[in-house]
């Protein structure tokens, strides 16, 4: 086996340990990751904007001896920018854009020793639960390339699930990190609101719904990375509650006997797909076997008023996104520069008044208080992550004739209310505990209490130990695929 293949089986922490011990150099880590991307990306279309020379230049100048010294990393092509490099947010509207500043998150990632190799595919402005934009085309799932990675962090999910890199950036405004984690068999933690800064360009985004973090293979990588990136930036509008100790210290710590609520029902009262409900049942049994109290209970307050308010905020958010970029670029998008779904959302969003938006925020803040009261009686709320297994590519797409088709079909795959964590600001996570008979991953989802990533990470590490998932490899994984041929060379 080659070094590139050997390294593909290690998480980011293990790769960094090789650099710290002198067994492998940062240059070797980066070159090995580039080799894996070149080998696998033609089949998966996960990396949309390679930045290989940028990465090699960074290594030549010397990487910091942080927790991830020399470890290769990919940025999702959304929100987070690097000065002087292309940045498109999956949109033809931005296809010629080059960033004029570097995000604070990138500075913190680099300080931790990570080396950015490129940008991963995303649907236009992160709007759909699949990665199939007009600009980048479809990203394929390493577990079966006929299927979607979900979205909107699906490019990053495919890159990690295939072993191109051990972890990659994702962001989450309504489940966009956790859905692809479930679809690709990865661990996906959505941090507490304002845990990771969005500056210098943004104070918060969409009432605090949007958060930044990563898709990882291991729980320890997620905890260590959040330790390295957490904390307010000067001038942020508000901070997240302080952590009692580093989150890595929670990995392996005894979670105690937790009280976990669960529900198989979507907000409308229907059950999800049988594979998703079976994954939930399995997770309930596993949690009970680990000594936790598990109680069936539906989340209160998810009524039509809340649903309408979510739609209002989402529509106004789309109008804000297009308005922001029109102002920054100095022009409005042309008739063929937006995907049909984005244009439909934009047209709807321009009809939302300031009063409508603030009334929706009022309703959602009342709902958030109901969730907080509910979680005084529980440590977490458990559901399936997705309401269907990953969809076939092409199913969650729109046309000019049917601009909302992607939203309508996509909604059937993501009917469980992961957006609750964005509305409330609470941390949440998707954990890869099950696979269906077709070999596709089926994740389960835990909503935690506000500011309490610690409890979620203790539980996640316990589940990871009881049901290890890291050695379960996708058919299109760098440890299995040679020369771009799944059957070998």
Q: Output the pLDDT for position 293.
A: 98
Q: Which of 148, 150, 156, 176 is catalytic?
A: 176
Is the CB of residue 270 less than 8 Å from the CB of residue 388? no
Q: Is 129 in a helix, a strand, or coil?
A: coil
Q: Is residue 121 annotated as a catalytic residue, yes or no? A: no
pLDDT at 481: 84
Residue by residue, pLDDT tens for the chain (489 residues) are 689 899 999 999 999 999 999 999 999 999 999 999 999 999 999 999 999 999 999 999 999 999 999 999 999 999 999 999 999 999 999 999 999 999 999 999 999 999 999 999 999 999 999 999 999 999 999 999 999 999 999 999 999 999 999 999 999 999 999 999 999 999 999 999 999 999 999 999 999 999 999 999 999 999 999 999 999 999 999 999 999 999 999 999 999 999 999 999 999 899 999 999 999 999 999 999 999 999 999 999 999 999 999 999 999 999 999 999 999 999 999 999 999 999 999 999 999 999 999 999 999 999 999 999 999 999 999 999 999 999 999 999 999 999 999 999 999 999 999 999 999 999 999 999 999 999 999 999 999 999 999 999 999 999 999 999 999 999 999 999 876 554 444
Report if pTM > 0.85. yes
Q: What pLDDT is recorded for position 483?
A: 66
Residue of 76, 148, 156, 387 marked active site = 76
Return the pLDDT at 357. Answer: 98
Residue 485: predicted pLDDT: 56
- Write the DSSP string, 350-406: TT--HHHHHHHHHHHHHHHHHHHHHTTS-SEEEEES-SSSPPBTTSS---SSSTTHH
DSSP state of 483: T
d(CA 210, CA 216): 19
* CB within 8 Å of 229: residues ≥ 6 apart: 105, 108, 109, 112, 196, 212, 213
pLDDT at 447: 99
Rounded Cα gap, residues 42 and 56, in angstroms? 21
Active-site annotation holds for 152: yes
Asked if the 3-466 domain carries CATH number 3.90.1300.10, the reply is yes
Among 150, 152, 218, 434, the active-site one is 152
Note the pLDDT of residue 295. 98
Told to judge if 482 belongs to the known catalytic residues of this protein, a careful annotator would answer no
Residue 170 in tokens: 């994702």
Tell me the C-alpha distance between 16 and 26, whole Å: 9
Report the distance separating Cα 159 and Cα 167, nearest Å. 8
């Amino acid at each position: 086996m080659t070094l590139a293949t050997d390294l593909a089986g290690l998480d980011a922490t293990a790769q960094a340990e090789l650099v710290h011990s002198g067994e492998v150099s940062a240059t070797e880590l980066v070159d090995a990751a580039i080799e894996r991307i070149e080998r696998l990306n033609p089949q998966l279309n996960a990396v949309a904007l390679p930045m290989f020379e940028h990465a090699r230049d960074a290594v030549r100048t010397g990487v910091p001896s942080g927790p991830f010294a020399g470890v290769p990393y990919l940025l999702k092509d959304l929100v987070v920018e690097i000065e002087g490099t292309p940045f498109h947010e999956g949109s033809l509207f931005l296809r010629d854009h080059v960033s004029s500043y570097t995000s604070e998150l990138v500075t913190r990632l680099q300080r931790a020793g990570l080396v950015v190799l490129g940008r991963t595919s995303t649907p236009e402005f992160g709007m759909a639960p699949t990665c199939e934009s007009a600009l980048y085309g479809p990203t394929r799932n390493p577990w079966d390339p006929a299927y979607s990675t979900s979205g909107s962090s699906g490019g990053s999910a495919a890159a990690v699930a295939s072993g191109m890199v051990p972890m990659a950036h994702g962001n989450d405004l309504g489940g966009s990190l956790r859905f692809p984690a479930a679809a690709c068999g990865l661990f996906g933690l959505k941090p507490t609101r304002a845990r990771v800064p969005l500056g210098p360009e943004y104070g918060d985004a969409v009432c605090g719904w949007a958060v930044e973090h990563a898709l990882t293979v291991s729980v320890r990588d997620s905890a260590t990375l959040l330790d390295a990136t957490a904390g307010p930036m000067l001038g942020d509008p508000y901070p997240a509650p302080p952590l009692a100790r580093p989150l890595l210290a929670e990995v392996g710590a005894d979670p105690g006997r937790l009280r976990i609520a669960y529900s198989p029902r979507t907000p409308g009262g229907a059950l999800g797909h049988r594979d998703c409900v079976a994954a939930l049942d399995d997770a309930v049994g596993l949690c009970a076997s680990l000594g936790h109290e598990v109680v069936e209970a539906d989340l209160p307050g998810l009524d039509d008023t809340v649903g309408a308010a979510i739609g209002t905020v989402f529509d106004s958010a789309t109008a804000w996104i297009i308005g922001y970029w029109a102002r920054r670029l100095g022009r409005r998008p042309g008739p063929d520069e937006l995907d049909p779904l984005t244009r439909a959302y934009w047209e709807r969003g321009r009809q939302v008044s300031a009063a409508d938006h603030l009334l929706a925020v009022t309703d959602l803040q009342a709902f958030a208080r109901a969730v907080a009261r509910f979680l005084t009686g529980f440590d977490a709320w458990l559901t399936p992550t997705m309401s269907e297994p990953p969809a076939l590519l092409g199913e969650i797409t729109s046309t000019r004739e049917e601009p909302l088709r992607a939203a309508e079909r996509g909604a059937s795959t993501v009917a469980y209310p992961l957006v609750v964590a964005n509305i409330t600001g609470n941390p949440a996570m998707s954990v890869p505990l099950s696979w269906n008979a077709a070999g596709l991953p089926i994740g389960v989802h835990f909503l935690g209490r506000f500011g309490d990533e610690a409890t979620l990470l203790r539980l996640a590490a316990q589940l990871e130990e009881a049901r290890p998932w890291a050695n379960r490899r996708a058919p299109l994984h760098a440890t299995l695929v040679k020369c771009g041929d799944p059957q070998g060379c």
